Amino acid sequence: MYLFIAIIFIAELIIACTVINFIVKADRKVRRYNACVETFNPLAQTCLQYSRCLISTFNRSFENFFVFIKKKQEQIVFKTIVIIAIYSMLFLFKIKADKASKFYKLAGVIRDIVTDFAV
């Protein structure tokens, strides 16, 4: 009976030593990976800051592009309105005097109708 208890005790010691050995090996691997992470961490932070800077610069340039497009659109609309006004004035001045008076009367009637609806 004592022999059986001694064998079980020795088996438990062997199992405990094996488990402790695995824990020590795992601890060494974790320490090695931790050293690699500590070495790589400043480099990773620098790369992340650089990428953050690149993304913000790209975002600003993209916003500036949209502002540029909007300004050009406003310029084109303004120039189109000016060109239409100039050509309409040229057209009105090119018409003979009697036809021009009819257009002026028509414009006056349209203006009166618009003011009646607006008020």
Q: Residues, the chain, total?
A: 119
How much is the pLDDT for 22?
96
How much is the pLDDT for 42?
85
**Which parts of the chain register pLDDT below 50?**
119
How much is the pLDDT for 67?
93
How much is the pLDDT for 89?
73
How much is the pLDDT for 50?
92
Judged by DSSP in three states, 1 sits in coil
The number of beta carbons lying within 10 Å of the beta carbon of residue 30 is 10
Report pLDDT digits (tens) over 5-19: 888 889 999 999 999
Contact 92, 100 (CB under 8 A): yes
Contact 70, 81 (CB under 8 A): no
